[in-house]
Amino acid sequence: MAVLTAQGAWAQNNADAAVLEMRDAYRRNNTTQLTALMPRVRGHALEPLAQYWDARARLETATPSDVRRSLDRMAGTYWEDRLRNDWLLHLGRQRDWATFSAELPKFRMNDDRQVQCYGLMLDAVERRSPPEQVAEQVQRLWLGQRDADDGCSTAARALLDSGHLKPSAAWQRARLAMETNRPRAAAQAVALLDPDWVGTVNAIAADPAKYLDEKITAIRPRTKELVTLAIIKLAEKDPAAAAQEMERTRWRAQLTQEERSWLWGVIGKRSAQKLQPDALSHFGNGQPRFMHTDHLAWKTRAGLRAGNWTAVRDAIAAMPEHQQREPVWVYWRARSLQVLKEPDAIAAQAQARELLESIASPRGFYEQLALEDLGRLITVPPAPPPLTAQEVEAAERNPGLQRALAAIRLGLRSEGVREWNYTTNLHTPGGLGERELLAAARLACQNELWDRCINTSVRTPQAQDHAQRFPMPHQGAVVRRATEIGLDPAYVYGLIRQESRFITDARSHVGASGLMQVMPATASWTARKIGLTGFQPHHINERDTNIAIGTAYLKLALDDFEGSMPLAAAAYNAGPSRPRAWRNGPVLPAEIWAENIPFEETRDYVKLVLANTTNYAAILTGQPQSLRARLGTVGPRGNPTTINRELP
């Protein structure tokens, strides 16, 4: 028996090694080695992944029969659907519409915008759907694409040619691309209307002021949108110059109300992101109904910062219904009602209370604020009924979850995470049910895959299991270290949950490492500051060293920002110099200050860390907690000479 066990272990290890060798061969596009290694992974849990690598490397030259045989060998797995997604994109680029149409109904995920656009275009061509309806769907998908693509631009070209998609859709695509500094996408959109304009678009992206200076004579109707693109690009760097440009008589006379309103929305947004006091006046020059949803969001933020609740109310009222339903705008709409007392104090209070009740929950930042505004503190919700043995067993026997676990154990985290997400979210239409998700989250927790545990559990809006959503691994080390240096352990846990989801070897795209995602230079500086002798850069991946350095830096940031948790969290994410600048201006409730943080990543980060902290405090203390007490107010530093200039 011992010999057989040893042989079995050797065989499994040999297959594991073959899987990793195939991963490396796939990265090198070595199809010969992929074929040679395939027999060694037969019967391995990750055989479908290996088959995907082998088939994907040959996709460009494979026949439809070859691809279908590969798909059959992976039937029912994420990797079958992943290969079909890749193949559908290839078929679309090759304009092989017959094969594309045959394969599209088998694509279970159906979450690729380019594939969706190809499919919608064929629906219109073959009259399976009304072309007008298809055009509306393609426009929505196309505007949602960040970069230049083939799928949605091809569909857009077809619908523009047929007259079912209006040229204004292409210009809107170009505007959004120029506003987000994606000139290739802007040029691609404009090229669908006139390829001769591409050079002009590129020139605008390079030097918008020069283009505008050269447009001395009256502009022709067909080039008005090019002027619009130039002012959008100019506003990116210098909103004041863009505002001055808009005051020129020729633009006021020749641009339409829609064009002027969009441009004032862009200028207002850029001014608001720079925390400039004239942002609201810029927004006031345009009509909200012509502004983009992002412009309206920033108009609301500018109104909050200025204390102009009428502007807050009006900006939210101009948002489309789906945007108004987001908790952030539900909350601020309720607050505007309370302040303005319209149509009267009693009616306003009743309507505000109804709005707050609709979002009140421990779940997130504005949900917690809504709870407190209703007079209730944040507590740990009752745990859902225990899982049954059958529910637990179903998760443990789920082949997709087992493949995900096997991949992550082998060091193929990215592949394992994709398999896990597919199994829980996409394999079954609509995703797994709440009880199934709780069972899957339990499986992840048991295997200390804390990121999958958290991310799976938060998808159960009714059954809130805080033991899954807010786990506390390494509790002894975290609480001990936080207590030693005078940090709230809940604050540390709230930050770690957001930084790494408790993945000890996590590494970001910018090089931050470990549980607390510390940058190498920051780690070295902090190690010297706290007298950590013998520190080497690779030590940051050690759990206790990472916690020691991360908590020390957080405490130094907290002290430098006079105990303000929101400011210290912003400094941890974006560096201390930025929140030092962002705090200048009026003294604001921290929830208003946080909502006006210019960087979306940092804005969301601060709110999530503080909401996490409040939930962890409720768990650790067993007592009701207040988010608002942790927020306080934010304003200019009382004594500028106390700034810790060394803090990196």
- The sign of the dihedral angle between the CA atoms of 440, 442, 444, 446 is negative
Could you tell me which residues come within 8 angstroms of residue 212 by beta carbon, excluding any fewer than 6 positions away?
227, 230, 231, 234, 245
Measured distance CA(567)–CA(587) in Å, rounded: 13
Q: Answer whether residue 126 shows pLDDT above 80.
A: yes
* Residue 273 within any structural domain of the chain: no
Q: What is the mean pLDDT of residues 194-214?
A: 93
pLDDT of res. 564: 98
Q: Do 448 and 589 belong to one domain? A: no
Q: Do 551 and 584 belong to one domain? A: yes
pLDDT of res. 12: 52
Chain CA centroid to CA 63, Å: 37
Q: What is the mean pLDDT of residues 367-393?
A: 97
pLDDT of res. 517: 96
Q: Answer whether residue 8 shows pLDDT above 80.
A: no
Of 80, 111, 142, the one marking the end of a domain is: 111
Total count of domains within the chain: 3
pLDDT tens figures, 234-276: 999 999 999 999 998 777 788 999 999 999 999 999 999 999 9
Of 91, 111, 131, the one marking the end of a domain is: 111
Asked if 492 contacts 551 with a C-beta cutoff of 8 angstroms, the reply is: yes
56's tokens? 């994907």
* Residue 312 within any structural domain of the chain: no
Could you tell me which residues come within 8 angstroms of residue 86 by beta carbon, excluding any fewer than 6 positions away?
56, 59
486's tokens? 């005078």
Asked if 332 contacts 304 with a C-beta cutoff of 8 angstroms, the reply is: yes
List Cα–Cα distances, 536 to 112, 190, 516, 530, 546, in angstroms.
Answer: 43, 52, 17, 14, 12
Q: What is the mean pLDDT of residues 542-562?
A: 96
pLDDT of res. 380: 97
Q: What is the DSSP letter of 196?
A: G
Tell me, what CATH number does 528's domain have? 1.10.530.10
Q: What is the DSSP letter of 374?
A: T
pLDDT tens figures, 315-372: 999 999 999 999 999 999 999 999 999 999 999 999 999 999 999 999 999 999 999 9
The per-residue pLDDT of the chain, averaged, comes to: 94
Of 484, 509, 512, 510, nearest in space to 495 by CA = 512
pLDDT of res. 574: 96
Measured distance CA(289)–CA(295) in Å, rounded: 11
Q: Do 489 and 597 belong to one domain? A: yes
* Residue 255 within any structural domain of the chain: no
Q: Answer whether residue 5 shows pLDDT above 70.
A: no
**Given pLDDT bands bounded at 50, 70 and 90, which one contains residue 215?**
low
* Residue 127 within any structural domain of the chain: no
SS3 50: helix
Measured distance CA(465)–CA(600) in Å, rounded: 28
Q: Answer whether residue 601 shows pLDDT above 50.
A: yes
Q: Do 445 and 565 belong to one domain? A: no
* Residue 616 within any structural domain of the chain: yes
* Residue 87 within any structural domain of the chain: yes
Of 93, 111, 129, the one marking the end of a domain is: 111
pLDDT of res. 6: 36
Which residues belong to the active site?
Answer: 499
Q: Answer whether residue 527 shows pLDDT above 80.
A: yes
Q: Do 516 and 443 belong to one domain? A: no
Could you tell me which residues come within 8 angstroms of residue 17 by beta carbon, excluding any fewer than 6 positions away?
none
* Residue 353 within any structural domain of the chain: no
Query: Is 467 or 214 the better-scoring residue by pLDDT?
Result: 467
Q: Answer whether residue 10 shows pLDDT above 80.
A: no
Tell me, what CATH number does 411's domain have? 1.10.1240
pLDDT tens figures, 483-521: 999 999 999 999 999 999 999 888 888 888 999 999 999
Measured distance CA(365)–CA(53) in Å, rounded: 42
Q: Do 594 and 449 belong to one domain? A: no
Chain CA centroid to CA 639, Å: 37
Tell me what percent of the residues of the chain surpass a pLDDT of 70.
97
Q: Do 399 and 504 belong to one domain? A: no
* Residue 294 within any structural domain of the chain: no
Q: Do 535 and 406 belong to one domain? A: no
Q: Can you name the residues that pair with 518 across neighbouring β-strands?
A: 513
Q: Answer whether residue 459 shows pLDDT above 70.
A: yes
**Given pLDDT bands bounded at 50, 70 and 90, which one contains residue 219?**
low
Long-range contacts of 454-458 (CB under 8 A, 24+ apart): 454/497, 454/501, 455/421, 455/501, 456/420, 456/424
pLDDT of res. 220: 55
Q: Do 425 and 554 belong to one domain? A: no
Q: Answer whether residue 435 shows pLDDT above 90.
A: yes
Q: Which domain holds residue 66?
A: 2-111
**Given pLDDT bands bounded at 50, 70 and 90, which one contains residue 427?**
confident
pLDDT tens figures, 83-111: 999 999 999 999 999 999 999 999 999 99
Q: Do 497 and 433 belong to one domain? A: no
pLDDT of res. 9: 38
Count the neighbouring beta carbons within 10 Å of the beta carbon of residue 645: 7
Residue 178, classified by CB atoms within 10 Å of its CB into exposed (0-12), middle (13-18) or buried (19+), is: buried
Q: Do 536 and 423 belong to one domain? A: no
Tell me what percent of the residues of the chain surpass a pLDDT of 90.
88
Q: Do 34 and 106 belong to one domain? A: yes
Query: Is 346 or 426 the better-scoring residue by pLDDT?
Result: 346
Measured distance CA(51)–CA(402) in Å, rounded: 17
